[in-house]
Chains A and B, each alone.
Chain A
Amino acid sequence: MLFTCLFVVLCLYAVCSVIFANSQLDLRMQVFSEKQTQTELLAQAALNRCLREANETAGWETSHTVAAGTAWDPPPYQAAPMVIDSAAPAQGYGWIEKTADPNQVLVRGYCRLDGQCVLSSATCLRRPQSNAQVYMPQNQPGHLPQVYQFDRGTSNWSALPPVPSLLWRQTPPGPEVLRNSSPPGLGQPGFAQVAHFPLADDAGNFYETIYYSAADLASVADATRLDYLVRHPTGGSDWEILPPVPLEGYVNSLSGTPTLVATLSTDPDRQICLGAANKNQLIVGQRSQASGVVTLYRLDDPTQQGARYSLTADSMTPLAGATAWTALPYCPEANWTTSATLTVQANQAASKLTSLSMDKAANLYGLLDKPVNQQDVLVYYSAATGQWSFLHSPPSFAYGYDTSDRWTVQRIPEVPEKLVETAVDPDGNLYCVWRRTGFDIDSVFKFCPDGTTPAAGGFLAGTWKVLPAAPRSHYNRFGTLVQNPRATCPQFNSMAIDSTGCLYLKCSPFISYLTQSLDQVVYSWDCATGGEKIDKILPPIPEVITDPDYSQPTLYKQVNSGLVNSGSLQLAAGGIQSTTQVRIVPVSYFSQ
């Protein structure tokens, strides 16, 4: 009996030991979870402090950067540890680790608290310090064309001065200001009446094209052409005219390859219709209205070409550059067949190139617009090889809502036919909008190229992604934002990316039956860091009415109407990038 009892007691003792050990573990875990949470938060604090110091304290980054793969325990910190919590015995360390990519770094935050150690990391990109701008030009019937400029630094909209009616004579070649009496009998205002196709680069320049009719230029027998590119540098008050684009264009022939054919200066067949700009190059497309063929021209160092016209001094100053426009190789015609293969006609220039975007390496992305029931074609021009190639179509995804009213992406059995806009971010990723036939919700896609150069006529390799949906919103005429988070923005009619990599999508005007106006908003979305929704919206645009002062050709009047602008159709974005200062921006802004 005694032995039996002792055996049972031994077993019970073993059970007790296990239970007790388990309880001890639970208690230790209890302390661990609280301390662990606080240590993690302090490591994040150290990381964020590190980011702040790197971005705001000169020289901090240099003295706290280590090579890639350096052992971090003890932390390879080249200065005294940061005391990140004076009330607790917590020591925080922060440093920056280089990676193989010079534009990418790892920012580390490390904290040690009561025996707990946590290392927190954030992948960051070096971005040039940049002051971004968004432009929205508008042709206002009965008034002068207006360009609205949004400065992201101040979050304010302002109006640029009106564009002088600049043109370029043939003999002697040079710029001039047109002073017609328009409307007749009301003096001679020297301002352009129609402007389109806004462009902006990352050197602070805004470009647009001003148009004249043959009747406007009746008094100028030797005008070079009917449309001219003008530029407005940020911060300046003067507009500049660029040298005229040659009036030549590719013409398809039945035998042989397309050739450049010249036309008359007053022939309205050739008009500037699209373009793209970076700080070193300007590309514009000149379309033949008859054939639809677009001829692309490149101008190097565009900010030094043309002439500056001072409105206040009424004087023209030629700029130093003397580079001429160069025609790019024609884009070959291509069509998707019903069997999802691309048929390329290498000896035919493509018609209807309707969108153009350029990355910082001057590679071009374009869009060939096709008739109804045919699939649009995305094209790519490599600046390095001078050859055209193509992109596969985006995947068939569209936005929808799940049972919890959260937006989702749904695969649908439909081929993306109508692509309406393209834009390229500073990292060379392409964005485009798919407009579903018969539906009023556009899908926005991002294409990330894999960095390889495709062969001529081949396909650019990369992956497609779908961007988040944008909740439906609009400003009414009095500037009040009206949002419907349960609905998705129906259509985007313009897209642009600024010098910081922020994508802007302009929602198609929403017809307000109450105010009898077209209300619209511009969404912004950061390409590098993204977000769950495209729900940041720029402030409303105060409407400005610009009229000439007929008493003096160089004077004008700009009046704020007190309402919100609602008639702009196109969007451009750019900014001024610093060549010396950079910011370190986490791929996810907050590392949690």
Chain B
Amino acid sequence: MKRRAFTLAESLVGMFILAVAVLGVLACLIFAQRAERQAANDYQVAAVARGVMAEILANLRLSQQSFQVSQSCPRSPIVSHPELEYQIDDSLVGPRSKKVHLVIYYKNQQGTPCQSAYWTEVYNAIQD
């Protein structure tokens, strides 16, 4: 039995459906790539924030004298991550308690300046 070939109309409709589908996949891929970059960027910001905060707390561990010294720092670049900047502001809320504010400045994928703010409170139980 002789098989009939595709008509032009059939081929055009098929190609159109495939093109739409491929474009959808491409759009998805682009969106996924952007989202991944954004997530990685924000992960890095959060990780850097944890690291900076840990360093501040390590400095405060030294003694009651160093606890009284302000850890405040104006907006400055982070040496290990030059694309990021940080700012520290601390204040004593008691003779042995201190509130530490940390802001990380960065740019998102679109190049828009963004910032993430964190704070915590530390208590120095060292009996000097």
Contacts and interface: CB of A to CB of B under 8 A. Distances in A.
Contacts of A30: 35, 38-39, 42-43
A68 interface: no
A48 B125 CA distance: 10
A153 B126 contact: no
A41 B120 contact: yes
Interface stretch (A50-58, A227-235, A267-275, A370-378): A50-58
Contact of B42 (A12, A13, A34, A526): A34
B10 interface: yes
A150 to B, nearest CB: 11
Interface in B1-24: 6, 10-11, 13-14, 17-18, 20-22, 24
A536 B63 contact: yes
A30 B45 CA distance: 10
A19 B32 contact: yes
A12 B24 contact: yes
B18 to A, nearest CB: 6
A44 B120 contact: yes
A322 to B, nearest CB: 37
Given A1-B6, A8-B21, A592-B53, A26 B36 contact: yes
Contacts of B18: 5, 8-9
B14 A45 contact: no
Nearest to B11: A1
Interface string B90-128: 000010110100000000000000001111111111111
Nearest to A35: B46
A16 B42 contact: no
Given A27-B38, A592-B54, A9 B17 contact: yes
B96 A52 contact: yes
A547 B56 CA distance: 49
A186 to B, nearest CB: 43
B50 A15 contact: no
A33 interface: yes
Contacts of A265: none
Interface in A19-48: 19-20, 22-24, 26-27, 29-31, 33-34, 36-38, 41-42, 44-45, 48
Interface class of chain A by DSSP:
helix
A33 B46 contact: yes
A81 B43 CA distance: 30
B104 to A, nearest CB: 10
Interface string B39-61: 10011011001100110010011
Given A2-B10, A23-B36, A586 B125 contact: yes
A398 B93 CA distance: 43
A2 B11 CA distance: 8
- Measured as residues with beta carbon below 8 angstroms from the partner, the interface class of chain B is 35 or more
A163 to B, nearest CB: 29
Interface in A118-172: 127, 130, 132, 152-153, 155
Contact of A2 (B14, B35, B39): B14
B94 A56 contact: yes
Pick from A13, A49, A85 the residue with the most CB of B within 10 Å. Answer: A49
Contacts of B78: none
A500 interface: yes
Contact of B25 (A16, A130, A585): A16
B29 interface: yes
Contacts of A41: 53, 118-120
A6 interface: yes
A36 B119 CA distance: 13
A583 interface: yes
B39 A29 contact: yes
Contacts of B29: 19
Contacts of B119: 41-42, 45, 85
B46 A34 contact: yes
A20 B25 CA distance: 10
A364 interface: no
Contacts of B46: 33-34, 36-37
A589 B124 contact: yes
A23 B121 CA distance: 35
A401 interface: no
B60 A9 contact: no
B78 to A, nearest CB: 16
Given A56-B94, A152-B128, A12 B22 contact: yes
A2 B13 contact: yes
B36 A536 contact: no
Interface string A51-87: 1100110000000000000000000000000001100
A33 B124 CA distance: 28
Contacts of B121: 44-45, 48-49, 84
A1 B4 CA distance: 12
Interface in B61-96: 61-63, 65, 94, 96
B126 A155 contact: no
A586 to B, nearest CB: 6
A93 B70 CA distance: 27
A85 B60 CA distance: 22
Interface in A255-297: none
Given A30-B43, A38-B118, A85-B119, A583 B127 contact: yes
Interface string A576-592: 00000001111001101
Contacts of A155: 65, 128
Given A6-B17, A29-B39, A37-B50, A23 B123 contact: no
Given A8-B18, A16-B24, A33-B43, A42 B120 contact: yes
- Of all A-B residue pairs in the complex, the 3 with the closest CB atoms, nearest first, are A45-B121, A23-B35, A48-B123
Given A23-B31, A48-B121, 4 more contacts: A8-B18, A23-B35, A37-B49, A590-B57
26 contacts: A1-B10, A8-B21, A12-B25, A19-B29, A19-B32, A23-B32, A26-B39, A29-B43, A30-B38, A30-B39, A33-B39, A33-B42, A34-B45, A38-B118, A45-B99, A49-B97, A51-B125, A155-B65, A526-B126, A531-B61, A536-B63, A584-B125, A589-B125, A590-B60, A590-B122, A590-B123
